[in-house]
Chain A
Amino acid sequence: MDIIRLKNVKKQYKNGTTAIYDLNLNIEKGSFVFIIGGSGSGKSTLMKMLYREEKPTKGQIVVGGLNVAKLRNSKVYKLRRKLGIVFQDYRLLPKQTVYENVAFAMEVIGATKQETRIRVLKALEIVGLKNKVHSYPDQLSGGEQQRVAIARAIVNNPKMLLCDEPTGNLDPEKSIEIMKIIEKINKDWGTTVLVVTHDKEIVNRMKKQVITLKEGRLVNNKVKGTYDNENT
């Protein structure tokens, strides 16, 4: 079963730049997919359309049964509750503790205090930060901050995890740690994972499905792909 389906999707920004040309793509439930490609090839644009930060100019996008292209602004939250989203820059709230940052995602969707507490501690355990619940983001390393962001993304048990260059700011060792956590989430919970990355090392090591974009077009979709230099 495909959890993500794109049909003839085109994205042209208001200033005239076309970021995606006629993209057709299906992603199966439970898969782990790397999205690679050179700078400006449209990777982030694709992700943004999946979580409905941007609307496609043309074509159809279905994510987890929701017709994303037609989704009204006031209903976007329904899509977002099916997704966990992770960015290169972590996007944590600086004045809140690790616990509060993760709990935030539960509170704003109306979870009870107990439910929140159980889930937050569980999520922090998965990312290995249970001992840092009371720390503030600026007291953590980059890798730890990203783990908090992942905990926040998975705390309400989403069907999909979208990561746009989650290791972009991290050194190789920390990057591998992060990727291991994401892989574990995919394996243990069956969460569908999409990871945009420039990290050749990681892609080649993990042997997952790899989708390659080039100048807004899909040029490669391999089940056990690698990072070819010609693609960059």
Chain B
Amino acid sequence: MKILRMLGRSIRDAFKSVFRNFSLSLASISCITITLIIVAISIIASYNVSNFTEEIEKDLTIVVFVENDATEEQIETIKERLKDISNINQKEIKYESKKQIKEEMQKESDIFNAVMADWDEKDNPLKDTFQIKVNKAEEISKTAKQIEKIEKVSLVRYGEGMVDKLIAAFESIKKVTYGAVLALILVTIFLIINTIKLTIYSRKREISIMRLVGASNFTIKTPFIVEGMFLGLLGSIIPILIVIFGYPALYDKMNGYVFTPLVNLIHPNPFIYTVSLMIAIIGIIVGMIGSSSAVRKYLKV
């Protein structure tokens, strides 16, 4: 009960303080706002990039062509050897014999059907194939090389080059984004420390009287920490509005994809709410970190 009452007091004090030092609070709220906008964009971008990468990874197929003269046992051996490679998804090793492929192709088009109709087992120039999926897309070229070494494997194909480059680009975008977000958060913390420092100075008299009349350290410190959290929360309002209204607008404008329908954007619902929640939490946590370090530094109790 007592704790609740004291907390109520802290919140009231924090409110008052934000309005009492309005210009100062406004300055730091604006800084938090700008940072959080950029953080929000970064989060949205990095989630989407992760999403693209995942999608691409999911679709990424290696096709392994088996030499024409391979016996059935040899094909079985190839299958076993493929299973031994750790980057290969065990569940998705799909074998298609040349006969199956031929039948499929015949079904697909009448021309093929006409041409292929009188191929018998021996004349069939097609190759038996394995279609496999990998766990880690970034190691796909390594895996492909491993497969090539297997006996009776004639050819290994995947979207070389394009895929590798795309994945590498996404990876570096991710890293740059993380770096930028981290730097911005540090700047924000620094600004909050300064805001709270000034609040502490402007309330020096009050603090000294609080100490005199027997307020505990907890009571003295909490309002400042709450104030920092409050600043963080206020700073997250505009970024959240931008996310909630901006992202769906962007999504609609781009018809849900970037450049090609292969690269889908994440659907706004519930994505924007998740991001908003993250922004609010980041704002509050950053505010709390800033204010607690200001309290530790400038409030000698």
Select one of B210, B211, B219, B220 contacting A110, CB under 8 A.
B219
Complex alpha-carbon distance, A107 and B211, angstroms: 13
Q: With both chains docked as a complex, state the minimum distance between the C-beta of B160 and any C-beta of chain A, in angstroms.
A: 65
Q: Does the CB pair B219–A80 fall under 8 Å?
A: no
Q: Interface size (B, Cβ < 8 Å)?
A: 19
Q: Does the CB pair A81–B214 fall under 8 Å?
A: yes
| In the complex, chain A residues whose CB is within 8 Å of the CB of B217 | 73-74, 77
Q: With both chains docked as a complex, state the minimum distance between the C-beta of A91 and any C-beta of chain B, in angstroms.
A: 6
| In the complex, chain B residues whose CB is within 8 Å of the CB of A93 | 205-206, 209
Complex alpha-carbon distance, A81 and B6, angstroms: 16
Complex alpha-carbon distance, A93 and B213, angstroms: 13
Determine the main DSSP class of B at the interface with A.
Answer: helix
Q: Does the CB pair B214–A108 fall under 8 Å?
A: yes
Q: Mark B24-64, 1 if CB is under 8 A from A, else 0.
A: 00000000000000000000000000000000000000000
Complex alpha-carbon distance, A130 and B176, angstroms: 66
The answer to whether residues A77 and B216 also contact, given A110-B2, A110-B5, A112-B5 and a CB cut-off of 8 A, is yes
Nearest residue, chain A, Cβ from B206: A93
* Chain B, range 283-301, C-beta contacts under 8 Å to A: 301
Q: Is A85 in contact with chain B by the CB < 8 A criterion?
A: yes
Q: Is B186 in contact with chain A by the CB < 8 A criterion?
A: no
Q: Is A104 in contact with chain B by the CB < 8 A criterion?
A: yes
Q: Is B157 in contact with chain A by the CB < 8 A criterion?
A: no
Q: Is B9 in contact with chain A by the CB < 8 A criterion?
A: yes
Q: Does the CB pair B212–A80 fall under 8 Å?
A: yes
Q: Does the CB pair A91–B214 fall under 8 Å?
A: no
Q: With both chains docked as a complex, state the minimum distance between the C-beta of B20 and any C-beta of chain A, in angstroms.
A: 9
A-B contact pairs, 16 of them (CB 8 A): A76-B211, A80-B211, A80-B212, A85-B213, A91-B209, A91-B212, A93-B205, A105-B213, A108-B210, A108-B219, A108-B220, A109-B213, A109-B216, A110-B219, A112-B5, A156-B214
Given A74-B301, A107-B9, A110-B5, list of 8 further CB < 8 A pairs? Answer: A73-B217, A81-B214, A83-B214, A85-B213, A91-B209, A105-B213, A109-B215, A109-B219
